[in-house]
Amino acid sequence: MILAAGRGERMRPLTDEKPKPLLPANGIPLIDYHLAALARGGIGDIIINLAWRGSQIRDWVGDGSKYGINVSYSDEGSEALETGGGVYRALSWLGEAPFWLVNGDIFCSYDYVERGLADQSLGHLVMVPNPGHNPGGDFSLAAGRVIRRAEHTLTYAGVAVLHPDLFAGASGGKFPLAPLLDQAIERNVLSGELFTGRWLDVGTPQRLAALDRLLADE
What pLDDT, in 10s, does the model give residues 24-49?
999 999 999 999 999 999 999 999 99
> What is the pTM assigned to this prediction?
0.93
- Alpha-carbon distance of 56 to 4, in angstroms, equals 11
- 99-121 burial string, b = 16+ CB within 10 Å, else e? bbbbbbbbbbebebeeeebeeeb
What pLDDT, in 10s, does the model give residues 120-143?
899 999 999 999 889 999 999 998
Domains plus CATH for the chain?
2-216 (3.90.550.10)
The residue count for the chain: 218
Q: SS3 for 7?
A: coil
Residue 150: the pLDDT is 72
- Alpha-carbon distance of 1 to 37, in angstroms, equals 13
The dihedral through the CA atoms of 108, 30, 16, 158 has a sign that is negative
What pLDDT, in 10s, does the model give residues 68-88?
999 999 999 888 899 999 999
What pLDDT, in 10s, does the model give residues 157-192?
999 999 999 999 888 889 999 999 999 999 999 999
Q: Are strands 199-201 and 106-108 parallel, antiparallel or unpaired?
A: antiparallel
Q: 187: closest CA among 138, 88, 120?
A: 120
Which amino acid, residue 13? P
